[in-house]
Amino acid sequence: MSSQPIAIFGGTFDPVHIGHLRAAWEASEALDAEVRMVPAKIPPHRPQPVADAAARAAMLRAALEGQDRLKLDLRELDRAGPSYTFDTLASLREDIGTQRPLIVLIGADAFVGLTSWHRWRELFELAHVCVLTRPAQIPATPDALAAVVAARKVDSVGALRTAPAGCVLDMVVSALGISATRIRRLLAEGREPRWLVPQALLDDPVLLAPYRKA
């Protein structure tokens, strides 16, 4: 089998920043995959976002303008209830069939929390997982997850094309110490996150308004 993989990069994107975009871009190039940025409407595993789903989608749309390697996929916004990745992958499988490789891109910090995700073991039946490095303190991998990874680990991008799902690959991406938390804090303090977020977010007076101090 060799068809172009589809990869999803989910998150709250509250707001989207250069760390997300550069990681997604590098993964897309390395995997030769179409990458879909998938904002969560109701993230199940963390505090609720500051900006509502429509505002976070608008920031992503502005950020992604001018290129077509990274696309915006709003399917979680159309669904009621928590935005489970399992449901997103199941819905993508309905669109693309059972054979095309499907990849979940996930930062190393988020990956160690995978065992709390809805139907986490079944995610590997629907997709590969590509774990992106992040320059942050990463907690230890829980034993249950380490065991699954040990059985599924591959060390080349090519392996992700030989099966539709089921492998785990670690990928080194540029180390950008940027988080949405930091950007929200800068804006709340009345400072400008220039060169941490795409210029398009700064150019539109409305997009970052939810985070600015009143």
Residues interacting with ligand ATP, by CB under 6 A?
A: 11-14, 19-20, 23, 106-107, 109-110, 132, 134, 176, 178-181
Please report how close the Cβ of residue 2 comes to ligand ATP at its closest, in angstroms.
Answer: 27
What are the residues facing 131 on neighbouring strands?
Answer: 106, 170
* Residue 174 Cβ vs ligand ATP, minimum distance, rounded to whole Å: 8
Q: Which residues pair with 168 in a beta bridge?
A: 129, 153
The closest residue (CB) to ligand ATP is 107
- Longest Cα pair distance anywhere in the chain, in angstroms? 55
Task: Indicate the residue among 3 and 82 with the shorter CB distance to ligand ATP.
Answer: 82
Measured from the CB atom, is 98 or 185 closer to ligand ATP? 185
**Residues whose CB is less than 8 angstroms from the CB of residue 129 and which lie 6 or more positions away in sequence, other chains included:** 103, 104, 106, 111, 123, 167, 168, 169
Please state the closest distance from residue 151 (CB atom) to ligand ATP, in A. Answer: 22
Q: Are 13 and 78 in contact (CB under 8 A)?
A: no
| Beta carbon nearer to ligand ATP, 63 or 106 | 106
**Smallest distance from ligand ATP to CB 148, Å:** 18
* Three-state DSSP state, 135: coil
Indicate the residue among 137 and 181 with the shorter CB distance to ligand ATP: 181
Contact 131, 171 (CB under 8 A): yes
Show Cβ contacts of residue 11 under 8 Å, excluding neighbours closer than 6 positions.
20, 37, 38, 39, 40, 110
Shorter beta-carbon distance to ligand ATP: residue 5 or 107: 107
Q: At its nearest, how many Å lie between ligand ATP and the CB of residue 184?
A: 7
**Helix locations, the chain, DSSP H:** 18-31, 53-64, 85-96, 108-111, 120-126, 143-152, 180-188, 199-203
> What's the closest the beta carbon of residue 65 comes to ligand ATP, in angstroms?
19
User: Cβ closer to ligand ATP: 138 or 157?
Assistant: 138
- Residue 187 in 3-state DSSP? helix
